[in-house]
Structure 1
Amino acid sequence: MLSVLRSIVQEVNAAKDLQHALDIIVSRVQEAMDTDVCSVYLFDSASSRYRLMATEGLNQDAVGKVSLGHSEGLVGLVGVREEPINLQDAPSHPRYRYFPETGEERYHSFLGVPIIHRRNVLGVIVVQQQSIGRYFDEGEEAFLVTVSAQLAAIIAHSEATDVIGGLSLSGEAAKDIKFQGVAGAPGVAIGHSIVIFPPADLDAVPDKSTDDKEYEIQRFKDAIASVREDIQAVGKKLSAQLRPEEQALFDVYLGILDDNALAGEVLGRINAGSWAQGALRDVIKEYVSHFEMMGDAYLRERAVDIKDLGRRVLAYLEQSDKTEREYPDNTILVSDELTPAMLGEVPREKLIGLVSVKGSGNSHVAILARAMGLPTVMGVVDIPVSQLDSRELIVDGYNGQIHASPSQELRSFYHNIVEEERELVKGLESLKSQPCTTQDGHRISVWVNTGLMTDVVRSLSNGAEGVGLYRTEVPFMINERFPSEQEQRDCYREQLEAFSPNIVTMRTLDIGGDKALTYFPIQEENPFLGWRGIRVTLDHPEIFLVQVRAMLKASEGLDNLRIMLPMICNVSEVEEALHLIYRVYHEVREEGVNVSMPQVGVMIEVPGAVYQIKELAERVDFLSVGSNDLTQYLLAVDRNNPRVAGLYHSFHPAVLQALAKVAKDANSVGTPLSICGELAGDPAGAVLLMAMGYEALSMNASNLPRVKSIIRNIDLVWAKQLLSKVLTLDSPDVIKSTLDLALKEKGFGRYMHSGRSVGSLS
């Protein structure tokens, strides 16, 4: 049965459309189970009915015509119960529904299994037998359940392809087609999609030998030279938006093309007798296979870059010139695998959004998108890319959603969000120099999270009072080696000078989990619970000491540096890190560098640290909660995974209770407390955090004016009353609704169109 199942899956995967896929399923399942009938009914959400879409054994004329209500008949019962129903004599069941046009009155045995994808019932697959005596045994039921589970994603993709084409199952025009992915960069973009296809298909290259090696070598070298020129041109085009360290992404591409890397291996195969295309294909496939099998998510992303390079070189091998593609205004770039080079092909003034089927928030593209302010959705796994070219598209970078064929109502809704966002930002500009103080005189600091120099201008223009989190791993991630002490020092100095005299909180290198370095691979089965954050740098003091030394030297004459330690889970880690920091401090002073000892703090992002606040506070100068990771760990949800991203909720009661406990314990010993993450930048979240006792909120720069405005227009007493009410609730959705309503009653309804609040309105 396993080999039969694999065969069915392969055939269905190769189907040209949904109907073809369904015909294959009913034919092959009927044959495999040796039964009289196999049929597939798909659920049409527009009409809330199940429609017979394919059958082997019933009358073919009934296909597309017979339909049942969502709870009608045995098919409806399978869908409602969301579990198999196995009957020896179906006509005797009280829910049996007879359709004369199908000719099914002859069949007695019935086995129906739901087709479920991401909690949604897509349809029901049914097998039937004429003889009264047959009962489908447990093995047959298990086989049909396995078939359904294996094919659900394929059916969902095929169905989406048909819907994107403009028709629903009922034949009516489809509107407001939504696909769920992962938020890559915040914002809303309304524009026209342009799909970027690979310039060449490596899989289609045939095997050929050559008698003229010199000719093939020259062709390959010419192609390499052309691709090099393209990459350099793209890097130059983006130079206005990116700092040199960020442009190093393109240097990585150029390095791969060197003779001592990929290009050298291709030349070796040509010298062995292969033609250029075949040699390139074989080397690229080996590289890609090597990267794709790696356990580390960040390293697996590099397979995308290798494939992109291979396709570009192949394109030059196959054609003598490349035609320029015209890009319309308000272009939304869509691809199966977006790469930084693709990003640079579109004129910056025309590019407003990005969509990628593959990838996550740690992809190079996502890093660049955030730096350039482009709303981005990654990991849209069910989207039929080939059907999306030249269509009106809405990219919701707040909630990780895209909408195709939007209705006028949905288009107006998102257009209003864009306009309100623009007007809101414009209206809040006057707050830049105003203090963040409540109506009853409670002062709170508003800081920003940064990682790229492109964040600085936006942060300062929005009135940032300091940096609550500077992600030092970004310069490491976009390099192809560990940056030197001087390179780090220059980078840190830029940040410290830009925000001086306000504080800049620099987190020591935080790699592992969803952040890895190509030149320092970490391969683990469960990276989020493995070797990451302070665990890595304490095991490699040579990395930690160089980084701290660079930070201290960069702060000379400014003295606005704070050092923060990530992923702390016990006091011994803090003591060991402090020992190294004090050692570097004294060494730097002995070298004649006149710096003060910076404040040192820890991030509270591991659940275990929540219960050691007082012990940690005795050893450090400040505490800062990393709410994104803390939420992820408390709820056991990988927020970059589209399958479970819906379970990630910043307003989960357990998360709020943990945050309240941290604030209570930190305030009881007088230790300064801040928080960085999504919750701090959410207007409702900011109100709760202030009420809990957090002294500083650190967020993305775009959220800062909105949060400041709300805090300036409420009083602390009201916020604490709201917090007391919220902490008695037991559902994250009820909590969010309660907060939204409270803020709307205060006149802040327009603020709730941004961030994760968009989802509650749409």
Structure 2
Amino acid sequence: MLTILRKIIQEVSNAGNLDAILHLITSRVKQNLEVDVCSLFLFDFEERRYVLMSTDGLNKRAIGQVSLGETEGIVGLAGSREEPINLEDAQNHAEFHYLPGLGEDKFKSMLAVPIIHQRKVLGVLVIQNIDTRKFNESEEAFLVTLSAQIAGTIAQAEASGVVEGKHFSGQIAFNSRFDGVRGASGIAVGIAYVCTPSADLKSVSLTKAITDIDTEEQAFMKALDAVREDISKAGERLADALRPEERALFDVYLGMLEDHALGGEVVKRIREGNWAQGSLCEVIKGYEQHFNEMEDAYLRERASDIRDLGQRVLSHLQKNHSAPTEIPYGAVVIGEEVNPSMLGEFQARNVVALVSMQGSANSHIAILSRAMGIPTVMGAVDLPLRALEGKELVVDGYSGHVYANLTDEKRNLFLQLVEDEKLLVKGLENLKDKPAITTDNHKMSLVVNTGLMSDVVRSQDLGAEGVGLYRTEVPFMTFGRFPSEIEQAEIYRQQLSIFAPHPVTMRTLDIGGDKSLPYLPIVEDNPFLGWRGIRITLDHPEVFLVQLRAMLRASEGLNNLKIMLPMITSISELQTAKYLIHRSINELREDGLEIVEPEIGVMIEVPAAVYQAHHLAKECDFLSVGSNDLTQYILAVDRNNPRVAELYSSLHPAVLMSFKHIIDQAKLTNTPVSVCGEIAGDPVGAILLMGMGYQKLSMNAASLLKIKAVIRETSLTFAQQLVEKVMKVDDESIVQAIVKAELKRSGMNLKHFGIRDSN
């Protein structure tokens, strides 16, 4: 059975379209289970009916013509109950519904199994026999397993546009919602424009002998030059919307095409006698595989960049490259895989939102979108591209949702939200130089998370009071080796100088888990529970000591450095790290540098640190809660995985209890505690943290003025009372309901908190 199952799944995966997929399923199941009939019904979400879409054993003329209601017949029963229905004499069952013209009169036994994808019933797979008997456990288990495995394939086939629409009827249900992950915040309403690649790498034969090597090489080099020109022009088109640091992403693209990289490898294969198109595709395939195997989320996303470059070069080789398309103002650009170079082909001012079926918040297109303020949703795997083309969409970058075919009521709600957001942003501009003080005179400190120089510039523009988290791994990623002490010191000095005299909290090298370096590959079965953070640097003191000395050297005369240690799970790790820090201080002082001892802190980002918060607080100068990782570890949810992203929430009672425990333990030793991560930049989260006792919040620069605004219109007393109420409940939805009710009761502007006043 397992061998048969694997064979069917393999065939289904290679099928070209939905019709072929359905035909393969019914024919192979009938053949391998030796049953008289196998049929497949798909659910039409617009008509709310199960429509016969494929059969082997019944009247094929009935395909697409006969259907059953949502709860009608044995098919409807299996769908509504979401479980297999196994009957030895189906026609005598109370729920049996006769379908004229289908030709099932002589078939007695029936097994109906629902096909479920992401909690939605897509259809029902049915087998029937002439004889009166119940199908055995092995047959039922086989059909259940097959249905579970083909559900995703069917959903993706419908979504990718191989049929007319998300549902085979070609209709999108009212108020349809498609889920992805947050790429760039904001809400936008616009018309969908489908962006497709210019060539298909999979359609090219990898090997094909050539006789004129020089001509083939010249054709490739000509195509390469054309792509270089295309990318340069794309960068120029976006020049006005991006800072120099962000435009540098296009230089990354150009660098991949150089002789020592992709370009050189293709030429080598051509000179070995293989044709240019096949050589290109072979190299691209190798690069893709290499990047896809990386554990680091940022580096994994570079497979998308490589694939995009390969498609562009191939389109020039095939001479089917077309000039950039002008799109109308108000376009929501959607595609299977949207890339920066695609965005560069359009007038950026005409794009109001982006949606990509593939990719995550680490994709280059998401990074550019955040820089340009374009609401973006990534990883919307079930997006029905062709059905949505030309349709009005709402893109909610805050939640990672895309809405289509809205009722007038829903549409008007989102249009109002768009206008409210514009007014809110405009009204925040005058808060830059004002302090974050509550209505009852409680002062909060708002600092920023940085990694790129563009973060620094924005932070200054918005009046940040310092840096709560400087990600030192970012500059490490720009080198092809470990940077030297002097190279690091120059980078760190720039950060410290810009923010002086405000403090800059530098996190020591935090790689592993979702971050790795190209020159230090880390391959593990479970990287988030493996060799990462402080574990790596303590295992490599030669790397750690160089970084510590660079930080301390950079701080001389400025004295605004704070050092933060990531992924601490035990007191011994903290003590060992402190010893190395003090050793570095002494070494630099012996060299004649006047080093002031910096404050040393710990990131609380794993449950072990939560329960040791009191002991850690006694051993260091400050604590900082890494809310993103802590939330993921507590809830066991990868927030970049669209399948489970809905489960990720910093307002989950277990997460809130952890935050409260940490601050309560830190108060026992009067140790300052800050929070960095998404909850700090969320208005509701910020108020709850303030009410718990946190006095410093570190966030992305884009959230700073918004958080300052809500703090200035809230009282500490209100925040404390709100915390007291939410800490008594055990369900996230109740937490949200209480927050909404209390804010509304107090007369606060719900829009400032990102809360909608109606459903």
TM over 0.5: yes
Task: Tell me the alpha carbon deviations over residues 277-300 of structure 1, each in whole angstroms, 9 at most, x when there is no partner.
Answer: 232233333333343345554443
Give the deviation of 1:26 after TM superposition: 2.7
| Residue equivalent to 2:618 | 618
| Residue equivalent to 2:27 | 27
What is the CA–CA distance in structure 1 between the aligned matches of 2:552 and 2:240, rounded to whole Å? 30
TM-score for both structures, normalised by structure 2: 0.91
Give the deviation of 1:526 after TM superposition: 0.9
What is the CA–CA distance in structure 2 between the aligned matches of 1:486 and 1:369, rounded to whole Å? 33
| Residue equivalent to 2:459 | 459
| Residue equivalent to 2:120 | 120
What is the CA–CA distance in structure 2 between the aligned matches of 1:167 and 1:298, rounded to whole Å? 30
What is the CA–CA distance in structure 2 between the aligned matches of 1:455 and 1:111, rounded to whole Å? 59
Task: Tell me the alpha carbon deviations over residues 158-206 of structure 1, each in whole angstroms, 9 at most, x when there is no partner.
Answer: 3345799468566766444322111122222333444443333333334
| Residue equivalent to 1:205 | 204
Give the deviation of 1:690 after TM superposition: 1.3
Give the deviation of 1:54 after TM superposition: 3.3
What is the CA–CA distance in structure 2 between the aligned matches of 1:483 and 1:370, rounded to whole Å? 28
| Residue equivalent to 1:38 | 38
Secondary structure of the structure 1 residue equivalent to 2:110: strand
| Residue equivalent to 2:184 | 185
* Pair 1:709–1:477, CA change in 2 (3 A): same
What is the CA–CA distance in structure 1 between the aligned matches of 2:172 and 2:371, rounded to whole Å? 38
What is the CA–CA distance in structure 1 between the aligned matches of 2:321 and 2:39, rounded to whole Å? 51
| Residue equivalent to 1:677 | 677
**Residues 202-281 of structure 1 aligned to structure 2 (within 5 Å):** 202-206=201-205, 207-235=207-235, 249-281=249-281
Give the deviation of 1:16 after TM superposition: 5.5
- Which amino acid is the alignment partner of residue 40 of structure 2? V
Task: Tell me the alpha carbon deviations over residues 479-527 of structure 1, each in whole angstroms, 9 at most, x when there is no partner.
Answer: 5444444444443334334433322222222222222223322111111
Q: Which consecutive residues of structure 2, in runs of 5 or more, have no partner in the other structure?
A: none
* Pair 1:246–1:659, CA change in 2 (3 A): same
Is 2:466 the partner of 1:472?
A: no
- Which amino acid is the alignment partner of residue 546 of structure 2? V
| Residue equivalent to 1:601 | 601
* Pair 1:429–1:288, CA change in 2 (3 A): closer
- Which amino acid is the alignment partner of residue 51 of structure 2? R
Is 2:144 the partner of 1:154?
A: no
What is the CA–CA distance in structure 1 between the aligned matches of 2:335 and 2:479, rounded to whole Å? 25
- Which amino acid is the alignment partner of residue 82 of structure 1? E
Secondary structure of the structure 1 residue equivalent to 2:86: strand
- Which amino acid is the alignment partner of residue 185 of structure 2? P
Instruction: Kindly indicate whether the alpha-carbon contact (under 8 Å) linking 1:352 and 1:375 is maintained by their aligned counterparts in 2.
Output: yes
What is the CA–CA distance in structure 2 between the aligned matches of 1:353 and 1:599, rounded to whole Å? 43
Give the deviation of 1:125 after TM superposition: 1.2
| Residue equivalent to 1:579 | 579
* Pair 1:367–1:575, CA change in 2 (3 A): farther
What is the CA–CA distance in structure 1 between the aligned matches of 2:403 and 2:124, rounded to whole Å? 27
Give the deviation of 1:467 after TM superposition: 2.2
Instruction: Kindly indicate whether the alpha-carbon contact (under 8 Å) linking 2:198 and 2:320 is maintained by their aligned counterparts in 1.
Output: no
Instruction: Kindly indicate whether the alpha-carbon contact (under 8 Å) linking 1:50 and 1:76 is maintained by their aligned counterparts in 2.
Output: yes
* Pair 1:434–1:331, CA change in 2 (3 A): same
| Residue equivalent to 2:349 | 349
| Residue equivalent to 2:285 | 285
Instruction: Kindly indicate whether the alpha-carbon contact (under 8 Å) linking 2:354 and 2:374 is maintained by their aligned counterparts in 1.
Output: yes
Secondary structure of the structure 1 residue equivalent to 2:581: helix
What is the CA–CA distance in structure 1 between the aligned matches of 2:543 and 2:246, rounded to whole Å? 21
What is the CA–CA distance in structure 2 between the aligned matches of 1:513 and 1:293, rounded to whole Å? 13
Secondary structure of the structure 2 residue equivalent to 1:521: coil
Is 2:543 the partner of 1:543?
A: yes
Task: Tell me the alpha carbon deviations over residues 645-680 of structure 1, each in whole angstroms, 9 at most, x when there is no partner.
Answer: 122121111111111111110011100011112222
Deviates more, 1:649-658 or 1:89-98: 89-98
| Residue equivalent to 1:415 | 415
Deviates more, 1:293-302 or 1:593-602: 293-302
Secondary structure of the structure 1 residue equivalent to 2:515: coil
Task: Tell me the alpha carbon deviations over residues 356-403 of structure 1, each in whole angstroms, 9 at most, x when there is no partner.
Answer: 222222333333333333322222222244555554433221111223
Secondary structure of the structure 2 residue equivalent to 1:416: helix
Task: Tell me the alpha carbon deviations over residues 454-495 of structure 1, each in whole angstroms, 9 at most, x when there is no partner.
Answer: 233443444432222222222333554444444444433343
**Residues 378-393 of structure 1 aligned to structure 2 (within 5 Å):** 378-385=378-385, 389-393=389-393
Is 2:57 the partner of 1:57?
A: yes
Instruction: Kindly indicate whether the alpha-carbon contact (under 8 Å) linking 1:504 and 1:562 is maintained by their aligned counterparts in 2.
Output: yes
What is the CA–CA distance in structure 2 between the aligned matches of 1:435 and 1:552, rounded to whole Å? 30
* Pair 1:644–1:477, CA change in 2 (3 A): same
* Pair 1:312–1:176, CA change in 2 (3 A): same
Is 2:139 the partner of 1:140?
A: yes
Secondary structure of the structure 2 residue equivalent to 1:587: helix
Name the count of aligned residue pairs: 758
Secondary structure of the structure 2 residue equivalent to 1:31: helix
**Residues 361-372 of structure 1 aligned to structure 2 (within 5 Å):** 361-372=361-372
Instruction: Kindly indicate whether the alpha-carbon contact (under 8 Å) linking 2:188 and 2:353 is maintained by their aligned counterparts in 1.
Output: yes
- Which amino acid is the alignment partner of residue 140 of structure 1? E
What is the CA–CA distance in structure 2 between the aligned matches of 1:697 and 1:161, rounded to whole Å? 42
What is the CA–CA distance in structure 1 between the aligned matches of 2:144 and 2:603, rounded to whole Å? 46
- Which amino acid is the alignment partner of residue 92 of structure 1? N
- Which amino acid is the alignment partner of residue 554 of structure 1? A
Instruction: Kindly indicate whether the alpha-carbon contact (under 8 Å) linking 1:296 and 1:527 is maintained by their aligned counterparts in 2.
Output: no
- Which amino acid is the alignment partner of residue 178 of structure 2? F
- Which amino acid is the alignment partner of residue 205 of structure 1? V
Secondary structure of the structure 2 residue equivalent to 1:104: coil
| Residue equivalent to 1:745 | 745
Instruction: Kindly indicate whether the alpha-carbon contact (under 8 Å) linking 1:182 and 1:380 is maintained by their aligned counterparts in 2.
Output: yes
Q: CA RMSD in A?
A: 3.0
* Pair 1:472–1:350, CA change in 2 (3 A): farther
- Which amino acid is the alignment partner of residue 154 of structure 2? I
Give the deviation of 1:334 after TM superposition: 3.1
* Pair 1:370–1:476, CA change in 2 (3 A): farther
Give the deviation of 1:238 after TM superposition: 5.1
Give the deviation of 1:631 after TM superposition: 0.9
- Which amino acid is the alignment partner of residue 380 of structure 2? V
Task: Tell me the alpha carbon deviations over residues 697-728 of structure 1, each in whole angstroms, 9 at most, x when there is no partner.
Answer: 22233333333333333333332222222111
What is the CA–CA distance in structure 2 between the aligned matches of 1:478 and 1:334, rounded to whole Å? 30
Is 2:106 the partner of 1:106?
A: yes
Give the deviation of 1:260 after TM superposition: 3.6
* Pair 1:481–1:415, CA change in 2 (3 A): farther
* Pair 1:425–1:51, CA change in 2 (3 A): same
Deviates more, 1:142-151 or 1:249-258: 249-258
Instruction: Kindly indicate whether the alpha-carbon contact (under 8 Å) linking 2:164 and 2:386 is maintained by their aligned counterparts in 1.
Output: no
Deviates more, 1:161-170 or 1:592-601: 161-170
* Pair 1:173–1:209, CA change in 2 (3 A): closer
Secondary structure of the structure 2 residue equivalent to 1:210: coil
Give the deviation of 1:571 after TM superposition: 1.4
Q: Which consecutive residues of structure 1, in runs of 5 or more, have no partner in the other structure?
A: none
Is 2:94 the partner of 1:82?
A: no
Secondary structure of the structure 2 residue equivalent to 1:681: coil
Instruction: Kindly indicate whether the alpha-carbon contact (under 8 Å) linking 2:166 and 2:387 is maintained by their aligned counterparts in 1.
Output: no
* Pair 1:706–1:164, CA change in 2 (3 A): farther
What is the CA–CA distance in structure 2 between the aligned matches of 1:394 and 1:91, rounded to whole Å? 47
What is the CA–CA distance in structure 1 between the aligned matches of 2:375 and 2:634, rounded to whole Å? 28
TM-score for both structures, normalised by structure 1: 0.91
* Pair 1:343–1:694, CA change in 2 (3 A): same
Task: Tell me the alpha carbon deviations over residues 612-671 of structure 1, each in whole angstroms, 9 at most, x when there is no partner.
Answer: 112111221110111111111011111111111122121111111111111110011100
What is the CA–CA distance in structure 2 between the aligned matches of 1:677 and 1:578, rounded to whole Å? 25
| Residue equivalent to 2:659 | 659
Secondary structure of the structure 2 residue equivalent to 1:200: coil
| Residue equivalent to 2:434 | 434
| Residue equivalent to 1:400 | 400
Task: Tell me the alpha carbon deviations over residues 185-235 of structure 1, each in whole angstroms, 9 at most, x when there is no partner.
Answer: 222233344444333333333443222222222222333333334444445
* Pair 1:351–1:172, CA change in 2 (3 A): closer
Percent identity reads 55
- Which amino acid is the alignment partner of residue 202 of structure 1? L
